[in-house]
Structure 1
Amino acid sequence: MTISTTSPSQPDPAPAPTVGRARRGTARRRPDRQSNRLLKRLHFFAGIICAPLILVASVTGLLYAFAPTIEKVVYHDMLTASAPENPTDAEPVSDLVRTARAEHPELPLAGVRLGKPDETTRVLFSDPDLPESTLRAVFLDPYTGEVKGDTTQYGSSAALPFRQWLSNGHRNLWLGENGRLYSETAASWLGVLAVGGLAMWWTRNRSVKAMLRTGGKGRTRTMRRHGATGTVIAVGMVFLTVTGLTWSSVAGTNIGEWRSQLDWVKPTVTTELAGMPDPTPDAGAADAGPHAGHEGHQMAAGASTVSGLNAGAIDRVAATARAEFSAPLTITPPTAEGAAWSAAEDRAAFRFTLDAVAVDWATGKVTDRVDFSSWPFFAKVSEWLINLHMGLLFGWVNQLVLGLLAAAIIAMVGFGYAMWWKRRPRTGGAVVAGAPPRAGWGRPTRGTLLLAAVLVGYSVIAPLFGITCAVFLVVSAGYDLVRRARGAAVTAGPGMSAGPGVPGGPGASPSNGTASTSGSRAR
């Protein structure tokens, strides 16, 4: 017996639409769903597979965020000098260099880092036994000449061993060059997950107030916390992606080449001295041409000997550099005959400029200058963003914000896995069970085409993202095919019914595509 759902006083319900009309109606609705489903599916699979990499990068980044401050505590004695009441009583820089050279007579001088009045002076040497961008550093009290320490210095941020160790962990997980692929994959997906998640969360809530709700129960509360946290830190996640990719292996190389082609790179001073021979790497002291006050000013610099490394030259250059810049700053000796010294400001908290000059070591006069104001705009922006990423630009405030951002990302990863765990099948099932429905195999919509174009364009910049994205799409399609095949096999079995979401399963439409006019409550 069938119970009618219509009233006798009402006309009969309109006939069910035909199969063709149902399909056309579905096609008309698909543009509203297809790209959103594709984005959800990509977000789901990337979250499941890439989240561990992002989690590791966030944990190491959380530690690295506070490394500049921790470094000052760990190496306090080595970094601190006994500043007298009159700072002009400092030892000549050339005497400090002579003392440091006695510690490492076999190594060529690479530079001298002059610190603030209460900081030690670092005499730097090139050591072929050290990793790339790492120098040997001897720390001396500039007022007494006492050697306070002997260790290494890494990179343009002058990082000491503890910060360098954390940097390597964050950069390559202490696995060397191959390990950089992990951080590049994490960085390239972090921004995509942030932007995609923000778009989906907005589509679901349609207001900022609703996007920031965190209440509810069970999985709903977990999802709201995940979404609200992502809404707050989305800009920070994109910032970490943009700056992180500049240090990456594959994408970083591409970005570096494009910056060079667009002249977005940091300019350097010209160290060639007028009246001297063209600088050549293998030139010796005997090749020095006549130049007023230049004769006889030689000091061994590793395997070769060049002019301008004597005591008088070092002191003249140091005096000029201190007159031009405030500490910390680094003076770098010539590495070839006929070249000048260079002096440049070092990265430091609340320092927004990095000026540089070339100095004639015979006269102490500035021969060339590159002020930060003359840098290309995007080179300036890149420098500021890098300093922000390293926690240097705004000192401890910068480090605190980075630490909170890393902690929030860690929490988001936890919320994401909790959402998946609560949605898992209670009786077992595939690891990707609970994935959003597929977008469908029909004609792609405008939204889908736009999304695909954006992803392809981004893949050109970040190839590792493109490769892993293609893998995710293949895995998603393969999962669908396997599930459909299993559903068809179950349906074909005698006396068996298909599961939800497969042809013939509960909730599926009748095979003729028409809606039943009979109530489902018939008994």
Structure 2
Amino acid sequence: MSSTQEQAPRDDRGQAVVAVAESGGLTEPSPAAEAGPSQPGSSWRGVRALLVRLHFYAGVFVAPFLLVAALTGLAYTFTPQLDQLVYGDQLRVEQVGDGPRPLTEQIAAARDAHPEGTLASVITPPGPEDTTRVVLSLPELGDKQLTVFVDPYTAKVQGELTTWYGSTPLTTWLDDLHRNLHLGETGRLYSEVAASWLWVIVAGGLVLWLGRARGQRAKSARGVLLPDSAARGVRRTRSRHAATGVWLAIGLFFLSATGLTWSHYAGDHFGQLLDAAKGHAPELVTTLPGGAETTEDKHAGHAGHGPGHDAASTDPADFDAVLAVARDAGLGGRVELTPPADAVSAWTVAQADNRWPVHYDQVAVDPAEGEVTAESRWTDYPALAKLSKLGVQGHMGLLFGLANQILLALIALGLIFVIVWGYRMWWQRRPMRDDRIAVLGKAPARGTWRQLPLPVLIIGIPAVAALGWALPVLGITLIAFLILDVAAGLVRRGRVT
């Protein structure tokens, strides 16, 4: 958001720098202004002038990244509906039957249609109109998998797709577009720049809009939350820009924070924080009781399995037995069943219900004994792990179903309008003279840091340095802004001399 004001009168040279800062900085400050204000409230005016300059430059240079993130995020928000539109034949059953066939029959049908690969997992249908997913691992697919979709009522294969962590090709493509623009690790920098600066821009805009001079319209709640319908020109654009930003602020802070948790550099530091605070989700212990030798002896000859029983030699009948144990343990709804990787490991059954209220319980099952050997319950998650998990699901639009999607879409659309209005203000504030009309407005006045009181500098510089360490992309781009600003100032000064 921006809080640029109309051009102030020039009869008071001592207030010129403040007027310039509030107006969008159409001119450089006078020497008297650079000396620093001395009237009461000068500390706030100095902070405000610096915020105006920071908000302006961050908006101008970071807004393109935010615009791309908003557009790609808006497209990703509706991937569930797009998947149904594009892959409905695979995802939905033609007719709901009286009851599903055993998983044994469904897996056998999938394996008959696709004997290649290793049986990796089976995902039960989330609803009565959904298909069962039999997931196969193929070496040539790398980290992707072949998912076979089976009608649970007829055990008929309805199709197959190459998936990535359960996502369809369309969802995977849109996810890569939003995450890295299909440019790999290098492309992830774009989204980290956007997430790193988004909260800074929003926070600065809020401070500028809520901290306007006493007696102005923004002091009332209506003036803060609603655009000024009576305003014209740049004032009207500014009020729309700022009021919309206020409404979006909480959502934008949320998207910035959750986006940073899985970014490259800031995400690594977030992971270190979780390590230090022991805030990770509890790990499910899948090692069977008794150790390797005891387990192999116990399983020898049982249900046709000998030593070396693993995912490659899994009996499809075990899926039904394991599912029954998991259901008795309280795991309802959609679950994913994963065979053990070796003879000393248990099966894993995990709930995958992202809708509110969420269900993320997991259990380890020994089919030979028909019992749960270990469990990880959502109620046992540390607070940080819960916040991180729910934040990611909310960011992806999965937490509340359609309500979550609509909310994210409104935030994305609102951000797009805020960005457009911000650039429009820059254009509207361009100097217009008889002999020449500028294309764009000038930047806010330089040298605003000189107006800051010493305590602010003493506290602020270490705080910014620490913030730059925690969010490396923010720190590096801020340094780049400063270098460019200093270089521009030296060039301008050389022209004057």
Q: TM-score, normalised by structure 2?
A: 0.84
How many angstroms apart in 2 are the aligned matches of 1:164 and 1:274? 38
Partner of 1:113: 123
Unaligned runs of 5+ in 2: 1-30, 213-217
How many angstroms apart in 2 are the aligned matches of 1:477 and 1:289? 74
* CA shift digits 1:91-131 (9 cap, x unpaired): 22123223323344342221100013321110112233335
**Which moves more between the two structures, 406-415 or 196-205?**
196-205
Partner of 1:467: 476
* CA shift digits 1:64-87 (9 cap, x unpaired): 111122222322221112555531
1:372 maps to which of 378, 389, 396: 378
What is the count of residue pairs matched by the alignment? 454
How far residue 243 of structure 1 moved from its aligned partner, in angstroms, is: 0.5
How many angstroms apart in 1 are the aligned matches of 2:355 and 2:461? 42
How far residue 293 of structure 1 moved from its aligned partner, in angstroms, is: 6.5
* CA shift digits 1:109-165 (9 cap, x unpaired): 211000133211101122333354x3221101112111111103333xx32111111
How far residue 177 of structure 1 moved from its aligned partner, in angstroms, is: 1.8
Partner of 2:107: 97
CA RMSD of aligned residues (A): 2.8
2:208 maps to which of 197, 200, 214: 200
Q: Cα 1:342–1:24, aligned 2, differ >3 Å: closer, same or farther?
A: closer
Q: Partner of 1:75: helix, strand, or coil?
A: helix
Partner of 2:298: 290
1:398 maps to which of 404, 409, 412: 404
How far residue 221 of structure 1 moved from its aligned partner, in angstroms, is: 0.6
Partner of 1:407: 413
How far residue 459 of structure 1 moved from its aligned partner, in angstroms, is: 1.9
Q: Which has the larger radius of gyration?
A: 1
Q: Partner of 2:363: helix, strand, or coil?
A: strand
Partner of 1:264: 279
Q: Partner of 1:367: helix, strand, or coil?
A: strand
How many angstroms apart in 2 are the aligned matches of 1:297 and 1:248? 44
How far residue 406 of structure 1 moved from its aligned partner, in angstroms, is: 0.1
Tell me if the contact between 1:107 and 1:126 (Cα under 8 Å) persists in the aligned partners.
yes
Partner of 2:24: none
1:149 maps to which of 159, 168, 188: 159
Q: Cα 1:100–1:33, aligned 2, differ >3 Å: closer, same or farther?
A: same
1:42-441 pair list within 5 angstroms = 42-82=54-94, 84-87=96-99, 90-115=100-125, 116-130=127-141, 132=143, 134-155=144-165, 158-204=166-212, 205-214=218-227, 215=229, 216-277=231-292, 288-291=296-299, 294=302, 296-297=304-305, 305=310, 309-323=314-328, 324-426=330-432, 427=436, 433-441=442-450
Q: TM-score, normalised by structure 1?
A: 0.80
Tell me if the contact between 1:58 and 1:410 (Cα under 8 Å) persists in the aligned partners.
yes
How many angstroms apart in 2 are the aligned matches of 1:429 and 1:73? 49
Identity of aligned residues (%): 37
Q: Cα 1:24–1:384, aligned 2, differ >3 Å: closer, same or farther?
A: closer
Q: Cα 1:299–1:412, aligned 2, differ >3 Å: closer, same or farther?
A: farther
How far residue 425 of structure 1 moved from its aligned partner, in angstroms, is: 3.5
How far residue 446 of structure 1 moved from its aligned partner, in angstroms, is: 2.9
